[in-house]
Amino acid sequence: MRFALTIVLLLAACSQAVPTEAKTRALPKVKLVPRLKELEAVVASGPKAPSKKRMAELRELLETAYVAGRASQRFAKMAKSDLLETEDAFWVFEDALEHENSLVRSNAAYELGKLGRVASLVPLIKRLKYEKDQQVLFWVVDALVKLGNHSGLPELLDLMHEPATAQNAAGLAQTVLTTAGLRLDGQATFGKLVREIRAVHRYWLEHGNPEGVAQDKLPKPSPLLDARIASRLVDLQGFQLRPVDDSRFILKRLGTLAVSRLAFAVQASENYLRQHSLEVLCDLGRPAAATYESVLPLLDDPLVGPRAAEALGALGNLDAAPYLLQRLDSPNLELAVAVAGALGPLGAKSALPRLSAIVADKSAEMDRRVYAAFSVALLDPGTRFLEQLRRSGKYHLQTLDELLDRIRER
């Protein structure tokens, strides 16, 4: 007992004499709170779809207007006009994004772009995930662009290479570039167009807002959008992974619009809601930088700590570097590996010596060495270690390929 007391006193003296990193960098306390019920309440209090009877009427108008051969041209035109005059037409167009007839799906996407309701981003982005028809896909991307969302530009680039959609897609690409303030002259090559669209998409990924659109013209959240975002967050807690994956896909492509709700959700006491919200932040990256304060305390969370580390790397706030460095040698290997892999994307140059030492340390776990090498390659270009390891066949090839791809993308 006396011995233990002596040790405690000595340790206290030591900590007074030499301020430790751990003391100066204590993590802010986290208080996990139930969030699910609150999110469900947001969903319940959001604007409601029209009644079943009303939706049936709207569907009838939609079918008459857009299903070829269903009515005479005159009636079809009248039905379309009637439909577009109704305030709640967007509900049936959103519904029609899953219509069996591809022409109806195309028209629905086109009209949703014109109607300009920001909440329609949610069903449109979901369509982006599943649509196989290139013509429909084009109109979905077109609608997203009109609603101020550039997350569909990779799909647009693919469509520019498809004979059936190349012309329309190139036209939309020109519109995107014009909005972004990049006017290409008539002599611009296809390659130049592609490069510029890639640059506009990079801007989207870095900012979560479309390039060239004035602040006051950016899409504004609406109660319906908020309810839909909340609904997607609620899905993250479920057992079946398909809805979880749908939600992750949608939330990460909403740019800055979902950020405040994600900051709310990462401090949920519901484990999967917390975990998957962090995963979305990992994908969203810099546009979600405002969530830094909410994510940081989760670094020592036994369940989601590794994802918090990864998210901190993606968010890009260098204030996170000391906290991450403290956990680089964590006995929790999953956390130590995630930290090693996060310091590179974070851009923490100060971590280079320690990361390089881990790469060189043959007694260190190979997972740590691999992810440290990944970060080193991002901070100080060079992929020798990973390439050599790949050739040796001593580590999971697909993981190495994925990391090398990510390095090249940067």
Terminal C-alpha separation, the chain: 57
Please, what is the minimum distance in Å from the beta carbon of residue 238 to another protein?
Answer: 9
Which H or E run includes 185?
Answer: none
Full 3-state SS string of 25-65: CCCCCCCCECCHHHHHHHHHHCCCCCCHHHHHHHHHHHHHH
Among 40, 60, 133, 245, binds another protein (CB under 8 A): 245
Among 285, 287, 341, 345, binds another protein (CB under 8 A): 341
Please, what is the minimum distance in Å from the beta carbon of residue 133 to another protein?
Answer: 12
114 close to 89: Cβ distance less than 8 angstroms: no
Q: Is 232 in the site for another protein (CB under 8 A)?
A: no
Among 67, 399, 404, 406, binds another protein (CB under 8 A): 399
Among 2, 5, 85, 239, binds another protein (CB under 8 A): 239
Structure tokens at 135: 């013509």
Would you give the distance in Å from CA 20 to the centre of its chain?
A: 37
Instruction: Name the burial class of residue 54, with classes exposed (0-12), middle (13-18) and buried (19+) by CB atoms within 10 angstroms of its CB.
Output: middle
Stretch of 144-152, 191-199, 326-334, 354-362 lying at the interface with another protein (CB under 8 A): 326-334
Among 191, 398, 408, 409, binds another protein (CB under 8 A): 398
Q: What is the dihedral of CA 260, 266, 272, 275, to 10 degrees?
A: 110
| Interface with another protein in residues 257-276 (CB under 8 A) | 271-272, 275
Structure tokens at 244: 């979880």
Q: How many angstroms separate the CA atoms of 144 and 157, rounded?
A: 14
208 close to 238: Cβ distance less than 8 angstroms: no
Q: Is 277 in the site for another protein (CB under 8 A)?
A: no
Stretch of 77-85, 101-109, 311-319, 327-335 lying at the interface with another protein (CB under 8 A): 327-335
Please, what is the minimum distance in Å from the beta carbon of residue 130 to another protein?
Answer: 7
Give the x-and-dash track for 303-322 against another protein (CB under 8 A): x--x----------------
Q: Is 385 in the site for another protein (CB under 8 A)?
A: no
370 close to 395: Cβ distance less than 8 angstroms: yes
Q: Is 393 in the site for another protein (CB under 8 A)?
A: no
Q: Put residue 104 in one of left, alpha, beta given phi > 0 → left and psi -120 to 50 → alpha.
A: alpha
Q: How many angstroms separate the CA atoms of 278 and 255, rounded?
A: 15
Among 124, 172, 337, 343, binds another protein (CB under 8 A): 337
Stretch of 15-23, 81-89, 105-113, 162-170 lying at the interface with another protein (CB under 8 A): 15-23
Please, what is the minimum distance in Å from the beta carbon of residue 331 to another protein?
Answer: 6
How many C-beta atoms lie closer than 10 Å to residue 231's C-beta?
Answer: 17
Binding site for another protein (CB under 8 A): 6-7, 10-11, 13-18, 130, 239-242, 244-245, 248, 271-272, 275, 279, 303, 306, 331, 333-334, 337-338, 341, 365, 367, 371, 395-399, 402
